[in-house]
Structure formats: structure tokens, C-alpha cells
Amino acid sequence: MTVLVVGEALVDVVQRPGRDPEPHAGGSPFNVAVGLARLDVPTTLAAQIGPDRYGDGLRWHLADSGVTLDELQPVPERTSTAQATLADDGSASYVFDLTWDPDALPDPSEVRAVHVGSLGTSLEPGASLVAELVHGADALGVPVSYDPNVRLAVEPDPEVWRRVFATIAPHASVIKMSDEDAETLFPGEDPADLARRLAADHGIVAITRGGEGAVIATAGAFATVPPADVRVVDTIGAGDSFMAAMLAWCSTYDWPGASELDDVELTDLAMYAASAAGITCSRPGADPPHTSDLTP
């Protein structure tokens, strides 16, 4: 059965210092879907994509990576975009032009797991449908994963993102966020302490910390992992690759409950995810690895 990923698909128009703009396929759910499929997990992306050259590029990219596309109605007039400006350290800031107003979402009873996150969970009117999907999946016992992937450039009010987290997180058994997300959602709280606290109620919780690696916790286990040792080209899509690799690992082990993982297994999970994120950082744009890239 397929893993269903729901949310925005867009084109990152990347502006690097001293270069012409470069379009790259993107959007957090889109990147997670591509990352999952490249790690040999059957994956379906439910998204809205326009009838334009950017949309054609996204469709080709999904097909090339092995993702099944469920094109949501109505079809937008144009494909969503994000203008991404890179700093000298490879970090990116974004300006968005996007649409998220699907009429309906797929039935969660027909999938193995559901992943949601970012703008798909926060931008109305589609966000309300995503919340209903998550609630329905949880009620059916379908595993749900969630990456808040806060984008204040689209929704500048942190309280909106906190309300979204409070709506989605109670139904998620796997949660990943960046330390920047954590600072918006839970200002001033130490990432390690936050991961442990959230994991008491939410299964597996990982918080990525850029150049400081990541922390990951369950109610009974905890691990800290360093970042992968790579030359960073940019960080676009790194967190999404981390998320996709976490889910691929869970899929390989038949979606283990958090109580089943010890410190060693949790470290193995986080190292696998960090390796995937590191490979993505070594490439321009969101270009997640294939299984062969992560196999010694």
C-alpha cells in the first residue's frame, strides 16, 4: 500500500548571489514525496498543480522519481511558486505565490500511512480538509506523520502555527521539526528537552538543528546525532529529506510503535535521516537521495 503525502507542490525559483534565477521543483510535501519514492517506498502525492510549464516540470519530476500524482481539483490557473534567496551560508529565505483550495482529499482508509505538513496544514481553505483527513486517519489506526515546517513569510502570525500544531500533533505518531520551527512554536525551550516532552505524547519526535545535527526522542529513548560531513551547497529541502528518510526507515521496519525502539535503534533511525539530509545539502535545490546513494 502507498504512503499518502498531502500538501503543496510548487517551484522554488532560486536566486543565488551573482547568478540568474534557477527554477527547482519544491514544496515541503512535494519534497517528502519525492524523497520517499526515491527510497523505494510506494508514494502518492495529493496536490494542486497548474496547467503551465512549471506544472509540467513538476509532473515530470514526480514521474521520474516514481511518485504517483493525485491531482486535486480545482486545477489552479498557475502553479504555485516560492522565490528563494540564498545567503552566503547556503540558507534560504522565501517569498510565496501559491494556491491551496482543494475540493476534497483522498480516503485515508486506502493508504498505509499519511504525511502532512507546512502550508498544506496552515493555509485555508485547504487546511481544514487536511485536519479532517488527519483526524480520520488516526481514528482508523493509519499512522500519521507531521512536519510543521513553519513559513512566516506566508502566515506571519505565530499563533496560527501554534493552533495548527495543537490540531494536528495529537494525531501524529511521527513528528519532525527544525530548531527554527521549535523556536516559533515553543519559544525559549531547549530542543532536547522539547523533543523529550513532546515524545511523551506523540511517539517519535525529531528536531533538526542545522550544523549541530539533530535530537530524536520517544517516551523511553533518546539520541543525539551529528550532521553529515559534507560540503554544503544549500540547505533547500534538507529537512524534507530528513523527514522522508525517517518515514522510509519506519516503513522498512513496518511502522514500529515508539515503545518498541531503544536508544540504539533510535540512533540508527536518526543517522539514516541525517545522511539523507546531508546528501541533499551537497546538491543544488531540493534533490533528495536514492537508496543507492545511502547504501555503502
What's the confidence (pLDDT) of residue 92?
65
Query: What total number of domains does the chain contain?
Result: 1
pLDDT tens readout for residues 225-258: 987 777 776 777 789 999 999 999 999 888 877 6
DSSP string, 181-248: HHHHHSTT--HHHHHHHHHHHHSEEEEE-GGG-EEEE-SS-EEEEPPP----S--TTHHHHHHHHHHH
C-alpha grid cell for residue 210?
542545522
pLDDT range class, residue 210, cuts 50, 70, 90: confident
What's the confidence (pLDDT) of residue 97?
85
Mean pLDDT of the chain: 90
CB atoms within 10 A of CB 96: 18
What's the confidence (pLDDT) of residue 254?
82
- Least confident among 67-71, 97-101, 286-290: 286-290
The domain that holds 10 is classified in CATH as: 3.40.1190.20
Closest CA to 289 of 255, 248, 231: 248
pLDDT range class, residue 89, cuts 50, 70, 90: low
pLDDT tens readout for residues 9-50: 999 887 777 777 778 888 999 999 999 999 999 999 999 999
Torsion angle of alpha carbons 8, 133, 251, 65, nearest 10°?
A: -30
C-alpha grid cell for residue 268?
540508527
Strand partners, 197: none
Tell me: pLDDT of 201 over 90.
no
CA distances to 19, 23, 28 from 85, in Å = 11, 12, 17
Closest CA to 115 of 202, 30, 38: 30
Q: What percent of the chain has pLDDT over 70?
A: 96
What is the extent of the structural domain holding 166? Answer: 3-294
CB atoms within 10 A of CB 178: 23
Tell me: pLDDT of 196 over 90.
yes
Tell me: pLDDT of 77 over 70.
yes
